[in-house]
Amino acid sequence: LVNQVVSHLIQTIRSTDGSFSSIERLGAGSYYEHVKISEPNEFDIMLVMPVARLQLDECDDTGAYYYLTFKRNPKEKYLQKFLDEDGKLSAFKMLEALREIIKREVKNIKNVEVTVKRKKAGSPAITLQIKKPPAEISVDIILTLEVQQSWPPSTQDGLKIEQWLGRKVRGDMRNKPLYLVAKQNKREKVLRGNTWRLSFSHIEKALLNNHGNAKTCCESDGPKCCRKGCLKLLKYLLEQLKMKHPKEVDKICSYHVKTVFFRSCVTWPNDTDWHLGDLDHCFQKCLGYFLDCLQTRQLPHFFIPQYNLLSLEDKASSDFLSRQINYQLNNGFPIFQE
């Protein structure tokens, strides 16, 4: 159903506005990484748009957010209408144009009811609601620029996977194109909607799908490990706690858990650290690491180590979550029995 709706929209987007004629779809997020838990009711679809060369200027000290301008005589003349008065590529203008096309077109989708949800401030996604009684499916469409140039300096010390997956794999991954999503940087004094955030969804997907220290890990005839099982349990625990305490845990999201997981894979790089039968033990190790991060409020972004994902304003959320996790740990995870 999701594929049918998205394919319909992509066809229209490509033909309606020349600016978007080159977009391709890429499934990102947990469903496509095969670590989706609970219902398959949320999908992230990246609409990837190739752009030849961009000038990236950091807009704060996180190393994750950038202003984008074109180099001299860009090939992408059709994107010039999305520049703001300073010549920066406006994420806001591009998202608005895309949203308008989608809003018009969902009315023409027969046989299923699709609506575009109201805009969430600062969100990089255009969210579709597909009604399929008795369920509702939500699809986040994320506008993504794919730039063929080397990753910026802030990523230099990230992706520390040499011990885990090897130097060659790291080199290959860093040669992949750069992805930028239309994400508002909340730290800006004036929200002008012209910032873009680095995205590593394509690399995260590759890491999860080739996660073994030995190349045969989890192949059909290879030895199985419990890495993905750990990630699913971590995600499930957070999801359940967020459902129980939406306000208190609102600052922590599944990306925090994914980062904890990747860092755990680096801390314990060998497949022998993740025997399939040791799931409970490995899960508790990952959880212990997560607790350390929450208590010190230090969780460096996996690809941009200078960017701490747990800032001081998340203190209340971190402290609350850390108490909840400790309670679960010490009482045999009652939340999993509910």
> Residue with structure tokens 């991954």?
173
> What pLDDT is recorded for position 218?
92
| Residue 150 tokens, joined | 């080397």
The dihedral through the CA atoms of 180, 109, 31, 34 has a sign that is: negative
> Residue with structure tokens 């799931």?
279
Fold of 211-336: Poly(a)-polymerase, middle domain (1.10.1410)
Q: Once rounded to an integer, what is the mean pLDDT over residues 214-220? A: 90
- DSSP state, residue 162: T
> What pLDDT is recorded for position 303?
98
Would the pTM count as exceeding 0.75? yes
- Reported as a single tens digit per residue, the pLDDT across 34-73 is 777 777 788 888 999 999 889 999 999 999 999 999 887 7
Cis preceding-peptide flag for 40 (omega within 30 of 0): no
Residue 120 CA to residue 128 CA, distance in Å, equals 12
Q: Once rounded to an integer, what is the mean pLDDT over residues 221-228? A: 94
What is the domain partition of the chain in residue ranges?
1-199, 211-336
Q: Once rounded to an integer, what is the mean pLDDT over residues 299-317? A: 92
Is the CATH code 3.40.50.2300 the one for domain 1-199?
Answer: no
How many degrees, rounded to 5, is the angle at CA 205 between CA 200 and CA 208?
A: 125
Beta-carbon neighbour count of residue 276 at 10 Å? 13
- Reported as a single tens digit per residue, the pLDDT across 120-161 is 877 788 999 999 778 899 999 999 999 999 999 999 999 999
Lowest-confidence segment of 106-120, 253-267, 290-304 by average pLDDT: 106-120
Q: What is the mean pLDDT of the chain?
A: 91
Q: Does residue 247 carry a pLDDT above 90?
A: yes
